[in-house]
Structure 1
Amino acid sequence: MDFADVTLTALRVFRAVAEHGTLTAAATRLGYTQSAVSRQIASLERAAGTPLLERRRDGVRLTPAGHLVLRRATTVIDGIDATARELAGLPAQAGTVRLGWFPSAGAALVPQAIATLRTTDPAITVTTREGSTPALVRALRAGSIDLALLGSAPPFRAPDTETPALTLHTLTERPLHIAVAAGHALARGEFIDVTELRGQRWITGPASGEDRLMGVWPGLDEKPDIAHTARDWLAKLHLVAAGCGITTAPATLAPAAPPGVRILPVRGGPQEQRRLLLAHLPNPLSEPATRVAEVLRTTALETEQH
């Protein structure tokens, strides 16, 4: 085992692979070819004297040795980046908090929290990125973000099985709702009966290896008639407003719904509960990250009461 010749580039590549889950995605993110990424990983594994990644059909998974190297690599990279900023006379990283969020959280909660922080804590800079829950968990593990807003559905398992376990705080727990056009027959009351969901046309998000089909009522007892697919929540709600179909939506999206859309609860059958989680590594948070977490919790509580 000899790390004397390990380059900073190899460590950055390794962290990108750990974060994005595949060599291809890491190469795209870094602007490298896949073969260049493979060579950097191979050189790092030679230096470690043991495999750092387990190659699988759906991507890569860190080995125990890989987790150790990732932790050390993150410390080295962050330290060098901080030194570069100081030498350039830029503000210290201590005032910056990196927040990841899954799509529906960005519609209302994240903008409201950032607006509050600009007033109450102007010295704190919040940078954000959107991603699926699995992608955000990988980013937390890789040290690329400090906090993550994650979505969780029953049976509310931990978002991953890695150790140490992530620290999770439940911000809200509310039933899933349905978004319908104001002129739709389902919009005539203050709730929708679950039996009325049969035979409807649905607007969903595209299914992928790490995202479940989002948009169709989970308890639907028939093959859904999917009329449109869109990844963006606002696009789905505008399709709803145009009368193109209906879609599931968390109640917290109501303030961001475009004109002509109603977001209504569903009655009958088991309630489809959804949790909004705030996650971070089980290490003490910096003072700015602690403050951002506090504002996110307060903002979530305020939206829960409306």
Structure 2
Amino acid sequence: MIELRRLRVLREVHVRGTLHAAAQALGYTPSAVSQQLATLEREVGAPLLERVGRNVRLTEAGRVLVRHADALLEGADAAASEVAAVAAGRLAGPVRVAAFQSAFLRIVAPAVRRLAERQPAIRVEATEAEVEQAVPELRLHQLDVLVGDEYEAQPRALHPGLQREVALRERIRIVLPADHPLASAERIRLADLADLPWAVCQPGTGHHEMHLRACRQIGGFEPDVRYTSDDFLILLEMVRTTGAGALLPDLVVGYEAPGVVARPFAAGGVGREVFLLTRQARTPTVGAVVEQLREAAGAAARRLG
């Protein structure tokens, strides 16, 4: 009999690439991971890993086992959720959600509030995370729902076994201090801001890539990136206090932001799509959380106009 926890260990090693990284993600020691895998190899009667330099990779037998592990672990999660629901007479159990900051504030928080009223036996555990770090956790069953974003012309990879649906679409705005000479304009040409310092998310994020691409392709200049943070509220504050500019989505600037103005592009422009990502097999409990996230996203879209 193969234990599911050993299959989880094997899949984690496959995704992380090293025993040490898998151990860190699972909260085990590397020796404990090695022991679990050695036991699993004895149970199946075949080697599952082979060394490649400092990393490890799955043997053919290991790949077969991981492929079946996904279905087995998905089924175990679904069974546990349904049993909990039957025992409680209603939907119950934990659902782990990750979202980037503005979606956390405008979508996740309202959804959690409504769930507490309508489905009090569902325990939502929410954390702030960017898509790049959260997708592997979703695939490894360490998350159940991810609220992610994708900027125009920057498509994200589509992963097999994951289900994606659009929650809302929004536009990127040019954000300036309220006392900037162009703040009173209805629309702004990005090219007119070539000399401005900019507040941008960290390199490696979709926002950073979008900002560089917009300045180069729409504005025709290389931006002077002077302030970086993955916290949009920090970027807003840097605009307000330092005279910098920023390119931020409606979900951030469509609410009260004193001391700054948000204007559309006079020409061109960029959009962003906010989406919900889950594994293909949604349990009823996860489905209930997705429904509330969907409703909260719709309410946010209506408020933004």
TM superposition score category, shorter chain reference: 0.7 to 0.9
Change (3 A) 1:179 1:16: farther
Which sits farther off after the overlay, 225-234 or 73-82? 73-82
1:39 aligns with one of 34, 39, 42: 34
Which residue identity lines up with residue 188 of structure 1 in the other structure?
S
* CA displacement, residues 200-231 of structure 1 (integer Å, 9 cap, x when unaligned): 211122223x7562572532123221111112
Q: Name the residue aligned to 1:118.
A: 116
The equivalent residue for 2:242 is: 243
**RMSD of aligned C-alpha atoms?**
4.1
Q: 2:177 touches 2:245 (CA, 8 Å); kept in 1?
A: yes
Unaligned runs of 5+ in 2: none
Instruction: Supply the AA of the counterpart residue of 1:303.
Output: A
CA contact (8 A) 2:92 2:123 kept: no
Distance in structure 2 (CA, Å) of the matches to 1:64 and 1:127: 32
| 1:138-287 equivalences in 2 (<5 Å) | 138-155=136-153, 157=155, 159-160=157-158, 162-164=159-161, 166-208=162-204, 213=208, 216=211, 218-221=213-216, 222-243=221-242, 245-254=244-253, 258-269=257-268, 271-283=269-281, 285-287=282-284
- Superposed counterparts of 1:25-174, under 5 Å: 25-32=21-28, 35-36=30-31, 39=34, 43=38, 46-47=41-42, 49=46, 51=48, 63=63, 65-73=65-73, 94-155=92-153, 157=155, 159-160=157-158, 162-164=159-161, 166-174=162-170
For residues 217-267 of structure 1, give each alpha carbon's deviation from its aligned partner in whole angstroms, at most 9, with x where no partner exists.
Answer: 532123221111112222222222212522221101125564323333222
C-alpha spacing 1:240/1:36, structure 2 compared with 1 (3 Å): farther
Residues 213 and 200 of structure 1: is their aligned pair in 2 closer, same or farther, counting only changes over 3 Å? Answer: same
Kept after mapping to 1: 8 A contact 2:96/2:143:
yes
Query: Which whole-Å CA distance do the structure 2 matches of 1:199 and 1:245 have between them?
Result: 10
Question: Structure 1 residues 265 and 67, CA, compared in 2 at 3 Å: closer, same or farther?
Answer: farther
Q: Deviations over 1:70-118 (max 9, x none)?
A: 44356568989999x9xxx999993332212123311322112222222
Which of 271, 289, 292 does residue 289 from structure 2 map onto?
A: 292
Q: Distance in 2 between matches of 1:202 and 1:255?
A: 20
Residue 74 and residue 119 in structure 1: after superposition, are their counterparts in 2 closer, same or farther (change >3 A)?
Answer: closer
The question of whether the paired residues in 2 share the 8 Å contact of 1:98 and 1:145 is answered with yes
* Cα distance in 2 between the residues matched to 1:266 and 1:134: 28
Q: Which moved more, 1:74-83 or 1:216-225?
A: 74-83
**Maintained 8 Å contact 2:81/2:284:** no
2:56, 2:192 → 1: CA distance?
40
Residues 110 and 263 (structure 1 numbering): CA distance in 2 closer, same or farther, change over 3 Å? farther
Deviations 1:168-226 (A, max 9, x none): 11111122223322223342233322222322211122223x75625725321232211
Measure the CA separation in 2 of the matches of 1:232 and 1:146: 24
Q: CA deviation at 1:301?
A: 1.6
Quote the offset at 1:278 in angstroms: 1.0
Instruction: Return the index of the structure with the highest Cα Rg.
Output: 2
Q: Is the 8 A contact 1:180 1:241 kept in 2?
A: yes
- Cα 1:137/1:67, change in 2 over 3 Å: farther
Q: Distance in 1 between matches of 2:53 and 2:271?
A: 32
Check 1:292–1:30 CA distance in 2 against 1; reply closer, same or farther (3 A cut): closer
Q: Confirm or deny: 8 A CA contact 2:107 2:296 kept in the other structure.
A: yes
Q: Distance in 1 between matches of 2:105 and 2:190?
A: 26
Counterpart CA distance in 2 for 1:239 and 1:91 is 51
Q: Is the 8 A contact 1:20 1:135 kept in 2?
A: no
Structure 1: unaligned runs, 5 residues or longer: none
Are 1:304 and 2:301 matched, yes or no?
yes
Secondary structure of the corresponding residue to residue 187 of structure 1: coil
TM-score by length of 1: 0.75
What's the TM-score once normalised by structure 2's chain length?
0.75
2:193 partner amino acid = L
Number of matched residues?
293
1:275 shift after superposition: 0.6
- The one-letter code matched in structure 2 to 1:114 is V
In structure 2, what is the Cα distance between the partners aligned to 1:45 and 1:178?
55
